[in-house]
Amino acid sequence: MEHTIRGTVMQSAEITLNEGEAVYTEAGGMSWMTANIDMDTNMKGGLMGALQRAVSGESLFMTTYRCNAGTGFVTFTTETPGKIVPMELAAGQSLICQRDAFMVADEGVTLEMHMHKKLGAAFFGGEGIFMQKVTGPGPAFFELAGEIVEYNLEAGQVLKVDPGHVALMDPTVDFDISMVPGIKNIFLGGEGLFLAQVTGPGRVWLQSMPLSSLAARLIPYLPKSRD
C-alpha cells in the first residue's frame, strides 16, 4: 500500500492498493477511485463497535474499499481547509484524536471511542466527553484543520492551549482543563473561561484553525432571517 498527498489548502490522499488490500472510512468519505475497487458498507466491529463510533462522532456505518485485481487507487479529500496527516502505526500503537479527525485507515487499524479520564476535560475540553482512539498496525490518515504544529513534550512539560486547537496526541500525553487566571483575563481576555492543559511525555499536534473558530467567524456573513 502506498499513498500520495496532493494539494496545499484543500488536500487529497490518493491511496494505491494491490490486489486484496483494503482501507476503510466513514460512509460517504470517498471522492473518486478506479474501477477495480470494490465497496462494502458495513457495521465494522459489529453493533457495539458501531455505537461506540457514533458516540465519538463517527457514523454508524463504515465503508471498506478493496482492490479486486491488479493495482488500483482510491482518493479521499478534506472537507474543510487543512492538512492530511499520514501515520504508520505499529502493532498496538495508538493515537487519540478529536472528533471528525479520522479520515481513512488500513483495514487492520481499529477505531474506537476514547473517554476522558478527568471530569474537567470531559465537560469543558471543547470536544465533549468522548474523543477517538485509533490503534495499529497499519497506516492511518487524519484530517486536521488549518496548519499543523507538532510538539514532542518531555515528561512533565506543559502546554496551555485553547481547547479547540488540540487535534491529535499520543496516549501518554495527559489532557486536562484549567481555568483562566484572573477576573480581567476571564472577562476581557477573549479566551473564555478554560484552557486545555497538555502534559508530556509524548507528541501533540495542534491545529491553527479549529472548525468552531471558523464557524464563529462566518456567522456575521450568513444571510439574516427576514421574519
pLDDT at residue 181 greater than cutoff 60:
no
pTM of this structure: 0.82
> 2-220: which CATH number, 3.20.20.120, 3.60.160.10, 3.90.228.20, 3.10.20.30?
3.60.160.10
For the chain, domain boundaries: 2-220
Burial of 21 (0-12, 13-18, 19+ CB in 10 A): middle
For residue 188, name the pLDDT band (cuts at 50, 70, 90). Answer: very low
pLDDT at residue 8 greater than cutoff 80:
yes
For residue 176, name the pLDDT band (cuts at 50, 70, 90). Answer: confident
**What pLDDT is recorded for position 185?**
43
Q: Mind listing the pLDDT tens digit for each residue in 12-27?
A: 999 999 999 999 998 6
Mean pLDDT (the chain, rounded): 82
Q: Which residues partner with 33 through β-bridges?
A: 74
**What pLDDT is recorded for position 194?**
74
Q: Which three cell numbers stand for residue 90?
A: 505499529
What is the Cα–Cα distance from 126 to 213, expressed in whole angstroms? 11
